[in-house]
Structure 1
């Protein structure tokens, strides 16, 4: 797939949602093209630089997202909500003339559909508590609390952990390994 890349200091994973504010012309043009062509773009985590910088470096594993809502915000900016579709790897990237990051991406294999093990049963409880936060609740995400992928993906998005650690969790393809790592991180936070 040949798609726009959107470097952020945040992540989103499949079935997750994230609100974004667009104000740069390159991203408003990207939004227009995506809506017109009924396609998405890829959210990648910034490695170095700022979200507004044209020289930002980013990781090569991200998430292909679709726009599910957009509106004019009270501050005059354009707000959109995107939902993750699939994890992808960026195999080649370049800058378009307007400064937009573009890339050729390949969809990664789906992760195994596994239940949350009994030994990690407190993770869905933690996730339920995080989902009660008003900003998260407003995203109206559907979560399968028995699905190790869903629980791990949402916790990776929502927990206040270092962005390099978040990226390591994004890159894992084994949902149980991700849950075990999240469990260790939660114990370290306590």
Structure 2
């Protein structure tokens, strides 16, 4: 699959949502093409560089997203909300002449649908508290609190972790291993 790549300092995972502000011409053009062709793009976490400008290094595991809403913001910029569909691996990446990062990606296998084990029963409680934040609440995400994938994905997105740690959590394919790691990280935060 040949898609635009959108390097950010934040992540989104399957079924998660993230609001974005677009102002660079390359991203406005990307948005127009995505809407016209009814396709998405891939959000990848920045390894080095800035979200603006063309010099950026990014991780090769990201999430294919689709635009679910867009509007003109009070600051005059174009605001969009995207929702994650599937984790992908960037096989090859390059820059188009307009500076847009593009790449060939492969979808990763879906993670197993598993219940949250009893030893991690406090993680859905933490997630419920995070979802009450007004910015997160505005995203109107549906969360399945007994699904280990969903709980792990949302906590990975919402917890204040450094980006390398977030990327490690993104790259895990075992939802229980992710919950185990999140549990340890929360204990360390306390």
Q: TM (normalized to structure 1)?
A: 1.00
Q: Deviations over 1:112-161 (max 9, x none)?
A: 00000000000000000000000000000000000000000000000000
Return the alpha-carbon distance in structure 1 between the equivalents of residues 98 and 163 of structure 2.
28
Question: Where does the alignment leave 5 or more consecutive residues of structure 2 unmatched?
Answer: none
Question: Where does the alignment leave 5 or more consecutive residues of structure 1 unmatched?
Answer: none
Return the alpha-carbon distance in structure 1 between the equivalents of residues 124 and 16 of structure 2.
15
Q: Which residue does 1:81 correspond to in 2? A: 81
Q: Which residue does 2:69 correspond to in 1? A: 69
Return the alpha-carbon distance in structure 2 between the equivalents of residues 106 and 20 of structure 1.
24
Q: Which residue does 2:130 correspond to in 1? A: 130
Return the alpha-carbon distance in structure 2 between the equivalents of residues 31 and 119 of structure 1.
43
Q: Deviations over 1:147-185 (max 9, x none)?
A: 000000000000000100000000000000000000000
Compute the displacement of 1:53 (Å).
2.2
Structure 1 residue ranges, 4+ long, deviating more than 3 angstroms after superposition: none
Return the alpha-carbon distance in structure 2 between the equivalents of residues 27 and 54 of structure 1.
12
Q: TM (normalized to structure 2)?
A: 1.00
- Computed over aligned residues only, the root mean square deviation of the Cα atoms, in angstroms, reads 0.3
Q: Which residue does 2:100 correspond to in 1? A: 100
How many residues are treated as equivalent by the alignment? 190
Return the alpha-carbon distance in structure 2 between the equivalents of residues 20 and 161 of structure 1.
20
Q: Which residue does 2:174 correspond to in 1? A: 174
Compute the displacement of 1:91 (Å).
0.1
Residues 1:111 and 2:111 aligned together = yes
